[in-house]
Protein backbone atom coordinates (compact mmCIF):
# COMPACT_ATOMS: atom_id res chain seq x y z
CA UNK A 1 0.00 0.00 0.00
CA UNK A 2 1.47 3.36 -1.06
CA UNK A 3 1.84 6.15 1.46
CA UNK A 4 -0.57 9.05 1.07
CA UNK A 5 0.22 12.72 1.77
CA UNK A 6 -0.30 12.50 5.53
CA UNK A 7 1.69 9.32 6.06
CA UNK A 8 4.48 10.53 3.78
CA UNK A 9 4.72 13.77 5.77
CA UNK A 10 4.79 11.86 9.05
CA UNK A 11 7.54 9.57 7.75
CA UNK A 12 9.62 12.53 6.55
CA UNK A 13 9.20 14.35 9.87
CA UNK A 14 10.24 11.23 11.77
CA UNK A 15 13.34 10.74 9.62
CA UNK A 16 14.23 14.36 8.78
CA UNK A 17 17.50 14.27 10.71
CA UNK A 18 18.60 11.13 8.92
CA UNK A 19 17.50 12.50 5.54
CA UNK A 20 19.55 15.64 6.12
CA UNK A 21 22.56 13.53 7.07
CA UNK A 22 22.15 11.49 3.86
CA UNK A 23 21.72 14.68 1.82
CA UNK A 24 24.81 16.27 3.38
CA UNK A 25 26.84 13.15 2.69
CA UNK A 26 25.64 12.98 -0.92
CA UNK A 27 26.26 16.70 -1.41
CA UNK A 28 29.79 16.33 -0.04
CA UNK A 29 30.44 13.48 -2.48
CA UNK A 30 29.29 15.61 -5.41
CA UNK A 31 31.02 18.84 -4.31
CA UNK A 32 33.77 17.95 -1.78
CA UNK A 33 35.29 21.45 -1.79
CA UNK A 34 32.13 23.17 -0.53
CA UNK A 35 31.72 23.02 3.22
CA UNK A 36 29.29 23.63 4.67
CA UNK A 37 26.66 23.67 1.95
CA UNK A 38 25.61 27.12 0.81
CA UNK A 39 21.91 26.44 1.27
CA UNK A 40 22.27 23.98 4.16
CA UNK A 41 19.98 25.83 6.56
CA UNK A 42 17.47 26.55 3.83
CA UNK A 43 17.31 22.93 2.72
CA UNK A 44 16.67 21.83 6.31
CA UNK A 45 13.89 24.41 6.75
CA UNK A 46 12.24 23.57 3.43
CA UNK A 47 12.36 19.83 4.08
CA UNK A 48 10.68 20.25 7.46
CA UNK A 49 8.04 22.62 6.07
CA UNK A 50 7.33 20.31 3.12
CA UNK A 51 6.83 17.38 5.49
CA UNK A 52 4.48 19.49 7.61
CA UNK A 53 2.49 20.52 4.51
CA UNK A 54 2.19 16.88 3.47
CA UNK A 55 0.71 15.93 6.84
CA UNK A 56 -2.11 18.38 6.15
CA UNK A 57 -2.67 17.32 2.53
CA UNK A 58 0.02 19.14 0.53
CA UNK A 59 -1.09 22.47 -0.90
CA UNK A 60 1.03 24.82 -2.96
CA UNK A 61 4.54 23.36 -3.43
CA UNK A 62 5.99 26.90 -3.36
CA UNK A 63 4.85 27.41 0.27
CA UNK A 64 7.61 25.39 1.98
CA UNK A 65 10.29 27.39 0.14
CA UNK A 66 8.72 30.84 0.19
CA UNK A 67 7.82 30.60 3.86
CA UNK A 68 11.15 29.26 5.09
CA UNK A 69 13.33 31.17 7.51
CA UNK A 70 16.97 30.34 6.89
CA UNK A 71 20.48 31.45 6.05
CA UNK A 72 22.16 31.06 2.65
CA UNK A 73 25.88 31.65 2.09
CA UNK A 74 27.14 33.09 -1.18
CA UNK A 75 30.47 34.36 -2.41
CA UNK A 76 29.74 37.88 -3.68
CA UNK A 77 32.86 37.75 -5.88
CA UNK A 78 31.57 34.83 -7.95
CA UNK A 79 27.78 34.81 -7.74
CA UNK A 80 27.42 32.55 -10.78
CA UNK A 81 29.44 29.85 -8.99
CA UNK A 82 27.27 30.30 -5.90
CA UNK A 83 24.12 29.89 -8.03
CA UNK A 84 25.56 26.71 -9.56
CA UNK A 85 26.40 25.32 -6.12
CA UNK A 86 22.94 26.12 -4.75
CA UNK A 87 21.33 24.50 -7.79
CA UNK A 88 23.47 21.40 -7.26
CA UNK A 89 22.44 21.21 -3.60
CA UNK A 90 18.75 21.23 -4.58
CA UNK A 91 19.34 18.68 -7.33
CA UNK A 92 20.99 16.35 -4.82
CA UNK A 93 18.06 16.84 -2.42
CA UNK A 94 15.71 15.86 -5.24
CA UNK A 95 17.68 12.65 -5.77
CA UNK A 96 17.60 11.85 -2.04
CA UNK A 97 13.86 12.46 -1.88
CA UNK A 98 13.21 10.29 -4.97
CA UNK A 99 15.17 7.43 -3.41
CA UNK A 100 13.31 7.93 -0.13
CA UNK A 101 9.96 7.86 -1.91
CA UNK A 102 10.99 4.64 -3.68
CA UNK A 103 12.04 3.04 -0.40
CA UNK A 104 8.83 4.06 1.38
CA UNK A 105 6.51 3.28 -1.56
CA UNK A 106 5.11 6.81 -1.63
CA UNK A 107 2.06 7.43 -3.82
CA UNK A 108 2.32 9.57 -6.96
CA UNK A 109 0.66 12.73 -5.60
CA UNK A 110 3.02 13.26 -2.63
CA UNK A 111 5.99 12.37 -4.88
CA UNK A 112 4.95 15.11 -7.32
CA UNK A 113 4.49 17.55 -4.44
CA UNK A 114 8.05 16.92 -3.18
CA UNK A 115 9.52 17.11 -6.69
CA UNK A 116 7.75 20.43 -7.24
CA UNK A 117 9.00 21.80 -3.90
CA UNK A 118 12.57 21.09 -5.02
CA UNK A 119 11.98 22.58 -8.47
CA UNK A 120 10.59 25.82 -7.00
CA UNK A 121 13.76 26.16 -4.93
CA UNK A 122 16.08 25.23 -7.82
CA UNK A 123 14.42 27.82 -10.04
CA UNK A 124 15.36 30.49 -7.51
CA UNK A 125 19.06 29.52 -7.17
CA UNK A 126 20.27 32.45 -9.28
CA UNK A 127 18.12 34.93 -7.35
CA UNK A 128 19.50 33.61 -4.06
CA UNK A 129 23.05 34.03 -5.31
CA UNK A 130 22.19 37.64 -6.14
CA UNK A 131 20.75 38.16 -2.65
CA UNK A 132 17.11 38.22 -3.77
CA UNK A 133 15.59 35.25 -1.97
CA UNK A 134 12.15 34.94 -0.44
CA UNK A 135 11.25 37.16 2.51
CA UNK A 136 12.45 34.82 5.30
CA UNK A 137 15.80 34.02 3.73
CA UNK A 138 18.86 36.03 4.67
CA UNK A 139 21.66 35.82 2.11
CA UNK A 140 25.09 36.31 3.64
CA UNK A 141 28.15 37.14 1.55
CA UNK A 142 30.99 34.86 2.60
CA UNK A 143 34.24 36.28 1.27
CA UNK A 144 36.62 33.67 2.65
CA UNK A 145 36.39 29.92 2.40
CA UNK A 146 36.83 27.27 5.03
CA UNK A 147 40.43 26.85 6.05
CA UNK A 148 41.37 24.13 8.51
CA UNK A 149 43.55 25.22 11.43
CA UNK A 150 47.27 24.89 10.83
CA UNK A 151 49.32 22.57 12.96
CA UNK A 152 51.62 24.33 15.37
CA UNK A 153 55.19 23.12 15.46
In tens, the pLDDT along 63-110 reads: 998 888 888 888 777 888 888 889 999 999 999 999 999 999 999 999
Q: Which sequence spans correspond to the domains of the chain?
A: 5-141
- Distance between first and last Cα of the chain: 62
Residues 102-152: tens digit of each pLDDT: 999 999 999 999 999 999 999 988 888 888 877 777 777 766 554 444 455
SS3 of residue 139 by DSSP: strand
Is the pLDDT at 40 greater than 80? The verdict is: yes
pTM for the predicted model, two decimal places:
0.85
pLDDT of residue 147: 45
Amino acid sequence: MSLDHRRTGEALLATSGELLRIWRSARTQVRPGVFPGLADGLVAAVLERAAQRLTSGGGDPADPYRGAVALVRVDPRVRSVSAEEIDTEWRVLGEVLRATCDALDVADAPRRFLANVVEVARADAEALAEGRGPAGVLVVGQVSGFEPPRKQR
